[in-house]
Structure 1
């Protein structure tokens, strides 16, 4: 406070430089919000918010992170969005928690002779820069430091990833005041010219692209990625990829994932969806998951953005995309591309027919490793030091760990061939509102749409129970779902079923279904076979996708 003409007035807060660091930038944004709200003085703000003047001055000077309560009161008084500002506060806390080069200087132990600045702008540019920085592995002469070329709409995931990596991060204002032996960036920006040192700008989809090289190496581990996604050896993995904006795949075909699931046999195909991070950011994770809820319940692999797109593409058998960079890399890997304007199942059948098992497990291409060597040689030339004697590493990507893997909750079943005791059928994920061809519906206990459970001809519990419990469970299902012609529960020796009385009979049938010796097919598939058996009165041989088994019917022991 200061005295002017006998009156006490609040002093203006000290100037703050938004380039001085994340806390200063946050304070500058808060000041701008207050100015736009037309609140002229700190005293007026303190009166409106009940925040002490000393706290307001510290916050406005960039000397303190406001508490959640103080920030909410401040922002609401100034007419701002408190939820958005609390999210910004979380990002600020992550930035401040990350190690900084300034704080680490006094703990220096090694004696590096070259300083390399890695400039990042988005999580995607971070991935590319990290792939290139692998050239410096195990070289004690090199010290890496990161800085952020802040875009207009920062992605909070970038700060999260930097914190998890434990890298040294220098604020931009400090970064432009130092000299570097090499600067590496994976994006174009006029601000890069503000940094002092030779700049290596990484190209996309060209010779020497470290991301492409990583994909080449990762294709050899496709079976690892597929297992992590629940994709079996008999499945063909179809990857859908959409960038953001009005020309994107999902903008033009929003129902494509669900449509594709409904048209492809579940025992032969798996469908995954890779979305550009801006889609998750622009609409929110909750909203994106809500839009694709039916598809996920039908078996869609909605790839978590934290898993990245690279291991998914490395595991793919066919690809449907748009003009995004993921489509470019898929084409470079030789993955068959499917045209959405033509018959999808027909194209996919032709594409997977061309895929042979030897091609799937071909040895590491000769070009893999060459680009890493070329890139490292260029870097060390720019650094004016000798290249290490050991080979440049080409490291495969880790398997996806965050994507939710779910089998279809319900199936529509179509009998394709029936001759004698042999039946060939196809199962498709059941999609609500789908009126495609079907002979009957099998609903499992994974189904959350109760309407489907009450409309299905077959209802089955897929987790195995002891035999006595399974017998009791099918009776309970029998009463709960009166429209079902057959209810079933997986049991340790097989599948227990109970069926509605057939024409000309007065009692339900309770039976134990056992598949061929040594075969453990999906309980939902065995239940479908049991349903067909009821209409034929014979033990039957079932063929579908990779499954080929006999079912035998016995009365369970009491």
Structure 2
């Protein structure tokens, strides 16, 4: 609201300066009295669309591949040099890629989902190709990068925690009651009387040298629903009314009568396309426990890259409980030679690969040191080929409402590998083995498929 932003040759640039709350009018009057007569209170259409879509939170979460026992972490950054993306320097390769690598190394892939929301100026200032290059390692580890213009509101609504900075996206998250953890917050760049500055005095800060998972979990579990109530009240003084107020303003500026045949309405937020997490980076699998009565495997999977730190080892788990899963489409083909489980994702009977039995036979021959291979051809199932020539179908039971299980089916193959590596047979696991990933328990049917691996 400084004069250099709102005046040209000493006169207001805008005929009407649309503001969402009276406190903004007061700050405009204090910062630039010449522009104060242009102020119009007309609410916030972006905030209104978010408020209207809040009841769809569960649908948005499923669209992002997030089930009820999985946490969605949204990493949000604005475009300033001292933002989360810019870090403490002008080099955007500083803080955010480091943070995303740490998140991939510390957060079990089946218990957390990470989504990045970057300001459009980042995408178009550096170029989409450069941004994708900066995010490439994290995307191979399962990161979902929201497009620059659409989809970020749905991600906020679905989020369990927003790891952000002084951006409006972080502020919107706090306004709707989402737990916030500030990874960067340059107080010196903000008006100390602004609501965003108040967020910096209210929200917890990320400690760079502490456990990221512990800090995220603490932010979620210690969050009080009314923590950001005062901030929410300053987001808009007319929640739900922006469409009416803005249309009235626009037609008044054109000196035309408002249409009376239909109400002023905002476009609802669309349901995002289904986008489950997928890691093409090698995956380190830690088996926490194997139980026989009933058959159960408790595991945690971490996507790891060549330069990323190893995931934390559960001290209660024996060293031999660790194995590696590698996707056939990995960028690190050398890892396939030492993989315990090799996975391929494709539609059933893909003509390029053939049916599961044909692919399994080829994969076992191509990767002679792996223990089993898994062909994921559905949202909640996969086919597993073993060295003994068996072809097994692993399929997870739906939830009580009949919706498919949203865990990556490759986790079921990893559980079966751990089961057989402990000296048991697939028949010992059937007909149902429980696969535990954090708080979630997946009931997986193990059944021989009609065709054996040749």
Quick check: TM above 0.5? yes
Taking the TM superposition and a 5 Å limit, the aligned residue runs for 1:169-248 are 188-190=6-8, 193=11, 199-203=15-19, 208-248=43-83
Q: Is the 8 A contact 1:488 1:498 kept in 2?
A: no
Measured against aligned partners, the alpha-carbon deviations of 1:350-399 in whole angstroms (never above 9, x if no partner) come to 4445799xxxxxxxx99632455555566677778876666542442334
Deviation at 1:527, TM superposition (A): 1.3
SS for the counterpart of 1:251 is coil
In the aligned structure 1, how far is the partner of 2:377 from the partner of 2:243? 54
Q: 1:408 maps to what in 2?
A: 279
Match of 2:437 among 544, 547, 553: 544
Q: Is the 8 A contact 2:346 2:376 kept in 1?
A: yes
In the aligned structure 1, how far is the partner of 2:341 from the partner of 2:284? 10
Match of 2:366 among 466, 476, 480: 480
Decide whether aligned partners of structure 1 residues 367 and 270 sit closer, same or farther in structure 2, where only a CA change above 3 A counts.
farther
Q: Is the 8 A contact 2:74 2:159 kept in 1?
A: yes
Match of 2:142 among 281, 289, 299: 299
Q: 1:273 maps to what in 2?
A: 116
Measured against aligned partners, the alpha-carbon deviations of 1:270-322 in whole angstroms (never above 9, x if no partner) come to 11111122222332211110111111111111122142633332332211111
Q: Is the 8 A contact 1:250 1:256 kept in 2?
A: no
Q: Is the 8 A contact 2:375 2:384 kept in 1?
A: yes
Within the alignment, does 1:258 sit opposite 2:133 as a pair? no
Match of 1:526 among 370, 388, 412: 412
SS for the counterpart of 1:312 is helix
Structure 1 window deviating more from structure 2 (413-422 vs 282-291): it is 413-422
Q: 2:125 maps to what in 1?
A: 282
Deviation at 1:481, TM superposition (A): 1.9
Q: Is the 8 A contact 1:444 1:524 kept in 2?
A: no
Deviation at 1:192, TM superposition (A): 9.6
Q: Is the 8 A contact 1:513 1:530 kept in 2?
A: no
Q: 1:502 maps to what in 2?
A: none
In the aligned structure 2, how far is the partner of 1:485 from the partner of 1:347? 37
In the aligned structure 1, how far is the partner of 2:109 from the partner of 2:382? 22
In the aligned structure 2, how far is the partner of 1:225 from the partner of 1:192? 47
Measured against aligned partners, the alpha-carbon deviations of 1:498-550 in whole angstroms (never above 9, x if no partner) come to 23xxxxxxxx4534244466687643122112211212313143222534224
In the aligned structure 2, how far is the partner of 1:312 from the partner of 1:555? 39
In the aligned structure 1, how far is the partner of 2:340 from the partner of 2:11? 68
The CA RMSD over aligned residues, in Å, is: 3.9
Within the alignment, does 1:436 sit opposite 2:327 as a pair? no
In the aligned structure 1, how far is the partner of 2:151 from the partner of 2:442? 36
Q: 1:510 maps to what in 2?
A: 390
Deviation at 1:327, TM superposition (A): 1.9
Match of 1:369 among 214, 237, 240: 240
Q: 2:300 maps to what in 1?
A: 426
Decide whether aligned partners of structure 1 residues 283 and 491 sit closer, same or farther in structure 2, where only a CA change above 3 A counts.
closer
SS for the counterpart of 1:526 is helix
Q: Give the structure with the larger helix fraction.
A: 1
Decide whether aligned partners of structure 1 residues 386 and 450 sit closer, same or farther in structure 2, where only a CA change above 3 A counts.
same
Decide whether aligned partners of structure 1 residues 516 and 215 sit closer, same or farther in structure 2, where only a CA change above 3 A counts.
closer
Within the alignment, does 1:458 sit opposite 2:341 as a pair? yes
Measured against aligned partners, the alpha-carbon deviations of 1:158-199 in whole angstroms (never above 9, x if no partner) come to xxxxxxxxxxxxxxxxxxxxxxxxxxxxx734279477xx82
In the aligned structure 2, how far is the partner of 1:350 from the partner of 1:485? 38
In the aligned structure 1, how far is the partner of 2:6 from the partner of 2:53? 27
Q: Is the 8 A contact 1:441 1:458 kept in 2?
A: yes
Measured against aligned partners, the alpha-carbon deviations of 1:314-345 in whole angstroms (never above 9, x if no partner) come to 33221111122222222222211023215432
- Unaligned segments of structure 1, at least 5 residues: 1-150, 152-186, 357-364, 500-507
In the aligned structure 2, how far is the partner of 1:425 from the partner of 1:489? 20
Match of 1:497 among 351, 360, 385: 385
In the aligned structure 2, how far is the partner of 1:528 from the partner of 1:308? 32
Measured against aligned partners, the alpha-carbon deviations of 1:37-71 in whole angstroms (never above 9, x if no partner) come to xxxxxxxxxxxxxxxxxxxxxxxxxxxxxxxxxxx
Q: 1:67 maps to what in 2?
A: none
Q: Is the 8 A contact 2:434 2:441 kept in 1?
A: no
Deviation at 1:458, TM superposition (A): 0.7
Taking the TM superposition and a 5 Å limit, the aligned residue runs for 1:18-29 are none
Decide whether aligned partners of structure 1 residues 278 and 189 sit closer, same or farther in structure 2, where only a CA change above 3 A counts.
farther
Q: Is the 8 A contact 1:475 1:498 kept in 2?
A: no
